[in-house]
């Protein structure tokens, strides 16, 4: 077990390169099972959710070889064990994408219930409804195995009664080789949904409309291998944007798609940061005070829930009282307790947090409860006076490549130590 020790109060300046998108990678890697031939995936982030996706493919019998630190060769021709047992599924939510892919390839899938961040109830009824409307039978077997099977998959007109990123991806994966035409309505529009559709199309699929409310899929009988470069990570980029604003810093964030960052940029401008956009970079800096704002999370193109903890953390030291409304997840303010240990003044009532700005945060020993909460606590540690120790940073390593190295290169005083390590903060 490792923890971060951060000596806060430093301005972070310089430039940072954003890695490939986690949420695209964890959908694209399972989708390599649909190719009749090898795939080469570039700009793959070096994070534990990616290692776990690759472990699942290796467990199934795929050939997986890294060609360089961000490029992997995957050949799924000789699969011997097409199922995902609990020991692999329990670590990450996205393990359930193997359901859609195995259904498309074998018309049968056994995948253990997924793990992932604890953000409140995370039902999968919309995935199941979508599979059923393609002609599948879905059951939960003893041991928490989700079993889906079909004689044949047949295209259908499917209306989702609520927007779900995961259900959109899973049903799109299952439908890609279904007979006839599938129309998915009221779908999610996140950048990684478009990236997955582009990846599948580069393998010979026929998917149109990804990024809009309606996706139309003409089923194809076979798909081929491909070379594909994953888009940059919207949330990693947003996190570094928030870090620039939090530390009164000046950071050029490179390898981004500024369009994907618009909702984050808009809020940062209101908070008091300056954001300059370039073709594939944004520069964020702040000279004045932080202002209070109202923030509500929404499906894309609204403000992403995965940036909510980082933004709420910024607001702890803004002038005045801010309101944060979490409209996606039932329980995404657990980290507020940790921020309050650092001197923040946050009152949470269900899905609403009222953040009363305080002059400064003070370093404290705290614990990450999930991936983005962990990133938010790092921001708090960077802003705080004194030393902050953050435990359970394995959550952060699920989704941020070389986080502490990137922060150190910007001037942060951050160190990763083993919790058994006797290193003391004063030795930093």
196 binds ligand UD1 (CB under 6 A): no
Q: Which of residues 24-53 bind ligand UD1 (CB under 6 A)?
A: 26
Continuous H helices in 138-261: 165-175, 191-202, 234-246
d(CA 366, CA 385): 14
Structure tokens at 244: 């620039």
Residue 329 lies near ligand UD1 (rule: CB under 6 A): yes
Establish if 155 lies at the interface with ligand UD1 (CB under 6 A): no
Instruction: State which of residues 5, 47, 124, 361 lies at the interface with ligand UD1 (CB under 6 A).
Output: 124
Q: Is 420 a catalytic residue?
A: no
Asked if 235 and 307 touch (Cβ cutoff 8 Å), the reply is yes
- E strand segments, 101-136: 108-112
Taking CA atoms, 267 is separated from 1, 56, 273, 282, 315, in Å, by: 35, 38, 9, 15, 11
Q: Which of 109, 145, 146, 165 binds ligand UD1 (CB under 6 A)?
A: 165
Q: Contacting ligand UD1 (CB under 6 A), which of 18, 20, 21, 23?
A: 23
Measured from the CB atom, the residue of 125 and 262 that comes closer to ligand UD1 is: 125
In the complex with ligand UD1, the residue whose CB is nearer, 164 or 226, is 164
Q: At 97, which helix (H) or strand (E)?
A: helix 97-106
Residue from 117, 136, 340, 420 carrying the catalytic annotation:
117
Residue 17: CB atoms within 10 Å: 16
Q: Is 164 in the site for ligand UD1 (CB under 6 A)?
A: yes
Smallest gap, in angstroms, from Cβ of residue 123 to ligand UD1?
4
- Coil, strand or helix at 271: helix
* Contact stretch for ligand UD1 (CB under 6 A) within 64-72, 115-123, 374-382, 386-394: 115-123
Among residues 3, 52, 91, 93, the one that binds ligand UD1 under rule CB under 6 A: 93
234 binding ligand UD1? (CB under 6 A): no
Residues that contact ligand UD1, how many (by CB under 6 A): 21
Among 5, 29, 94, 318, binds ligand UD1 (CB under 6 A): 94
Nearer to ligand UD1, 173 or 328 (CB): 328
Closest distance of CB 183 from ligand UD1, Å: 19
User: Interior CA angle at 308 toward 304 and 311, to 5°?
Assistant: 120
Beta-sheet strands, E only, within 244-351: 250-254, 274-277, 281-285, 294-296, 321-325, 345-349
Give the integer Cα–Cα distance in Å for 332 and 352. Answer: 10
Q: Alpha carbon 424 to chain centroid distance?
A: 32
Candidate ranges 124-132, 238-246, 346-354, 356-364; the one touching ligand UD1 (CB under 6 A): 124-132
User: In this structure, are strands 181-185 and 145-149 parallel, antiparallel, or unpaired?
Assistant: unpaired
**Residues at the interface with ligand UD1 (CB under 6 A):** 23, 26, 93-94, 121-127, 162, 164-167, 188, 305-306, 328-329
Which active-site residues does the annotation give? 117
């Amino acid at each position: 077990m490792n923890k971060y020790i951060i000596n806060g109060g430093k301005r972070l300046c310089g430039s940072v390169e954003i890695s490939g998108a986690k949420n695209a990678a964890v959908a694209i890697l399972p989708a390599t099972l649909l190719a009749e031939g090898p795939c080469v995936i570039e700009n793959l982030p070096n994070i534990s959710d990616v290692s776990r996706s690759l472990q699942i493919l290796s467990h199934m019998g795929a050939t997986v070889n890294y060609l360089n630190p961000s490029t992997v060769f995957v050949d799924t021709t000789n699969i011997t064990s097409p199922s995902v047992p609990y020991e692999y599924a329990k670590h990450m939510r996205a393990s359930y994408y193997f359901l859609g892919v195995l259904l498309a390839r074998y018309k049968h899938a056994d995948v253990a219930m997924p793990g992932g961040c604890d953000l409140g109830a995370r039902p999968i009824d919309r995935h199941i409804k979508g599979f059923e409307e393609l002609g599948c039978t879905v059951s939960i077997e003893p041991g928490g195995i989700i079993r889906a099977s079909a004689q044949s998959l047949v295209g259908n007109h499917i209306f989702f009664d609520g927007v779900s990123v995961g259900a959109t991806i899973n049903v799109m994966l299952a439908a890609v080789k279904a007979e006839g035409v599938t129309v998915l309505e009221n779908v999610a529009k996140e950048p990684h949904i478009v990236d997955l559709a582009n990846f599948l199309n580069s393998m010979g699929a026929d998917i149109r409309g990804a990024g809009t409310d309606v996706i139309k899929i003409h089923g194809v009988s076979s798909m081929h291998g491909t070379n594909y470069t994953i888009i940059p990570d919207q949330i990693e980029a947003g996190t570094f944007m928030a870090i620039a604003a939090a530390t009164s810093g000046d950071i050029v964030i490179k390898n981004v798609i500024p369009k994907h960052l618009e909702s984050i940029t808009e809020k940062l401008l209101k908070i008091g940061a300056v954001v300059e956009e370039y073709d594939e970079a944004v520069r964020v800096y702040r000279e004045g005070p932080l202002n209070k704002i109202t923030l509500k999370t929404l499906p894309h193109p609204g403000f992403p829930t995965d940036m909510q903890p980082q933004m709420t953390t910024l607001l702890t030291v803004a002038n005045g009282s801010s309101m944060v409304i979490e409209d996606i997840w039932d329980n995404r303010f657990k980290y507020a307790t940790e921020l309050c240990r650092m001197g923040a003044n946050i009152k949470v009532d269900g899905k609403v947090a009222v953040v009363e700005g305080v002059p400064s945060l003070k370093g404290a020993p705290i614990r990450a409860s999930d991936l983005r909460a962990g990133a938010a606590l790092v921001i708090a540690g960077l802003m705080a006076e004194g030393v902050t120790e953050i435990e359970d940073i394995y959550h952060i390593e699920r989704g941020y490549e070389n986080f502490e190295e990137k922060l150190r290169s910007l001037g942060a005083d951050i160190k990763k130590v083993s919790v058994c390590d006797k290193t003391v903060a004063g030795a930093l």
